[in-house]
Structure 1
């Protein structure tokens, strides 16, 4: 049985969910960003207990099919941009279509309807957050960051960064700690 969880966007969230499942003695085969694969269905009493425990940590079990799809899209994007070593060579639309086996136009329409922004805008927000993170780490040049995140050039990245944040990357670098947004709030 697969469960979809809202706001599960970090490795720390995965650890927390695993810990809660173990405490509740719920058998699972896999815990990924945004989803749990249970070994068997849960009785209503145990399901309600799991919902309550997760909610205390800011996580929420999702049962609506459209909202489940949105959460899957969001989790794939977060994992792709923040945790993958390299972005996919294909377009984001082709990547999402391949991963989720849905028509991209269908996914895009539902995403926009429910989230109020397009998938492309959501990806852009996360790419900018990733750029901020990489600037803070100070291990890569802006050109290397642009290449890593598939920008056509450092200038293109700088322009988009300024458009989204109101700051240049170099100005951001001088004020880095205060200007990052937690992933669950992007």
Structure 2
């Protein structure tokens, strides 16, 4: 789940299966019931029809928690320049960063830092599409030290400059596909 609508869809699905939700947040839903694999199958099918997957192993949950922490940082916090990503992730998840970083790289095939950069670029794309701020303002809002730094990372990820992207109105990726 990467947005409020996703959480509403998951809540609705779980309630339709008469499950009692203890907690619901981005990427995670805790239910009161302790269901067997067979009892989970109809819930899993319903969630998959909506484009969600049920993650029930520890490693996958940790990876999803890392992704959610990064999405939260990039998309909900202004000016991330002072944030040390390794300290932030370790504090958010209460785990050793080196362990999380190794696991993330093994499973996702990309480092946490590169994933963070991809999320920042998606945020920049969003702000460019809105066309409400200059590139220098966008650079500041997204935690870049300069327009040149933003442009360099943007081009590394997308193959084009922010200005070229803005003029071509390229489609954005869903956040869970970044």
TM-score (norm 1): 0.88
Runs of 4+ residues over 3 Å off in structure 1:
42-46, 83-89
1:110 to 2:103 alignment: yes
CA RMSD of aligned residues (A): 1.7
Structure 1 gaps of 5+ residues are: 1-7
Query: Residues 50-101 of structure 1: CA distance to partner in whole angstroms, max 9, x if unpaired?
Result: 1121112121111221111111111111122123455484311101000111
Distance 1:88 1:164 in 2: 19
More strand by share: 1
Distance 1:60 1:173 in 2: 33
Q: Which residue of 1 aligns with 2:156?
A: 163
- C-alpha contact 1:88 1:95 (8 A) present in aligned 2: no
TM-score (norm 2): 0.92
Moved more, 62-71 or 77-86: 77-86
1:63 to 2:56 alignment: yes
- C-alpha contact 1:146 1:152 (8 A) present in aligned 2: yes
Moved more, 128-137 or 148-157: 148-157
- State the shift of 1:10 in Å: 2.3
Query: Residues 17-62 of structure 1: CA distance to partner in whole angstroms, max 9, x if unpaired?
Result: 0111121121113211110122342355542221121112121111
- C-alpha contact 2:78 2:142 (8 A) present in aligned 1: no
Q: Which residue of 2 aligns with 1:185?
A: 177
Distance 1:175 1:137, change over 3 A: same
Moved more, 113-122 or 139-148: 139-148
